[in-house]
Amino acid sequence: MADALKKPQIIVLETKSLNYTPYDVKWIPCSARFVVLGQYARGTGAVAVYELEQGRAVLVKEIEKPHAIKCGTFGASTLEERHLATGDFEGNLNVYDLERPDVPVFSTKAHDLIINCIDGCGGVGIQTGPPEIATGSRDGTVKVWDVRQKDKPVAVISPAEGEQRRDAWTVAFGNSFNNEERVLSAGYENGDLKMFDLKTMSLLWETNTRNGICCAEFDRKDIQMNKMVVTSVESSFQVFDLRTRHPTYGFTALSTKNKDNTTIWTVKHLPQNRDIFVTSSGSGSLNFEGKLKQNTSKNQTKNLCSKYPGNRVKQDPKDKLNVGVVGTVELLNNATLAEQPISAFDWSPDKLGLCVFSAFDQQIRVAIVTKLA
């Protein structure tokens, strides 16, 4: 019992029932508000803004859009504007000012089919590089957009002529540690994971995880590539060490399988501690994971995750070249909180442990996770 009390505990503050299906949730930066994106039964899109008042989520505004909305991000917007970029079922990329959300401030026909995923970089919290939005679609293409350049993407990543087009299910920016460097990772329905160098406009690395990739996220966008977590449909996720790349084997990965044998829909790193992340599963549970490393220092810490190992690399015995050392991952705690899959999750960037998540039971939940410091 004593050990159980030392683990992170999740406390649901409020549960809200919705009259639409939620597909994504996002905290509005530097505020007590969050936005819910989804689809009404008649096929139109839902954009709802909630505000926390004395621990209760109060609906501030709810707007109906012509097309169902699949995903959204604030990643390419400045803190002053806090514009929300969304991708919808008709392939449209729209950017909204939530103070005046009736008409988008930017709109373009980004893809021929549904936009499955979106990510932003160069905006809130990332002060290096241009503001860019990445979108992935069922049409098999991944595109990078600069909202200052309308109707023409900065980059288009598509299959070669004659190759089968695979759904792009997730996109993630990383390695944006200065004004020039930036990497984009894309995961596909067939398990392909591709990493693109946006500075040189070239394929940096690719592999196949054997199962459809639902979500991928770097531990932080604004540092040199360090770690990336990739989740899949077969109840497994992989942690990649991105500091060392072997010319033959590529980046080292650690594969972990959940016990519930359901799809792992999302992964989100804790903004205040990149060594802790949460995954959500098809069983309606949240799993809090910690990346553990050997602590060679005499000064032991009380954090859930200790120091990085003394050696992040080791020599391959065959060719004497360096390969990365991932370390291990420990399940810190888990809890079943919904009857349907939890399809979206987001941490508050400002309040440690505060989170919001949505499930296919047409409910959103606001919660606080304790003992993360």
Q: pLDDT tens digits for 147-200?
A: 888 789 999 999 988 889 999 999 999 999 999 999 999 999 999 999 999 999
pLDDT score, position 3: 67
Phi-psi region of 186 (alpha: psi -120 to 50; beta: other; left: phi over 0): beta
Alpha helices in the chain (DSSP H): 2-6
For residues 355 and 348, give the distance between their C-alpha atoms in angstroms, rounded to a whole number: 6
Secondary structure class of 6 (helix, strand, coil): helix
pLDDT score, position 292: 56
The per-residue pLDDT string of the chain (373 residues; one tens digit each, 9 = 90 and over) reads 556 677 899 999 999 999 999 999 999 999 999 999 999 999 999 999 999 998 899 999 999 999 999 999 999 999 999 999 999 999 999 999 999 999 999 999 999 999 999 999 999 877 789 999 999 999 999 999 998 887 899 999 999 888 899 999 999 999 999 999 999 999 999 999 999 999 999 999 999 999 999 999 999 999 999 999 999 999 999 999 999 999 989 999 999 998 889 999 999 999 999 999 999 999 999 999 987 554 434 333 223 343 455 577 888 888 878 888 888 898 999 999 999 999 999 999 999 999 999 999 999 999 999 999 7
Q: In CATH, which superfamily holds the domain spanning 7-369?
A: YVTN repeat-like/Quinoprotein amine dehydrogenase (2.130.10.10)
User: Which helix H or strand E contains 155, and what residues bound it?
Assistant: strand 155-157
Question: Can you tell me which residue has the tokens 């936005």?
Answer: 35
Domain boundaries, the chain: 7-369
Strands annotated E in 146-284: 155-157, 168-174, 183-188, 192-197, 202-208, 213-218, 227-232, 236-246, 250-257, 264-270, 273-281
pLDDT score, position 160: 85
pLDDT score, position 297: 40
pTM above threshold 0.75: yes
pLDDT score, position 295: 41
For residues 96 and 74, give the distance between their C-alpha atoms in angstroms, rounded to a whole number: 10
Closest CA to 98 of 20, 24, 31: 31
Q: Are 188 and 168 in contact (CB under 8 A)?
A: yes
Closest CA to 169 of 208, 195, 139, 197: 139
Overall residue count recorded for the chain in this entry = 373
For residues 185 and 191, give the distance between their C-alpha atoms in angstroms, rounded to a whole number: 13
pLDDT score, position 119: 99
**Which residues are 291's β-sheet partners?**
329
Residue-wise pLDDT for 181-191, tens only, equals: 999 999 999 99
pLDDT score, position 302: 29
pLDDT score, position 290: 87
Helix, strand, coil percentages in the chain from 3-state DSSP, rounded to 5: 0, 50, 45
For residues 175 and 242, give the distance between their C-alpha atoms in angstroms, rounded to a whole number: 10
pLDDT score, position 308: 52
Closest CA to 197 of 171, 221, 173: 173
User: Which helix H or strand E contains 184, and what residues bound it?
Assistant: strand 183-188
Cα torsion 264, 174, 143, 209: sign: negative
Q: Are 121 and 132 in contact (CB under 8 A)?
A: yes
pLDDT score, position 134: 99
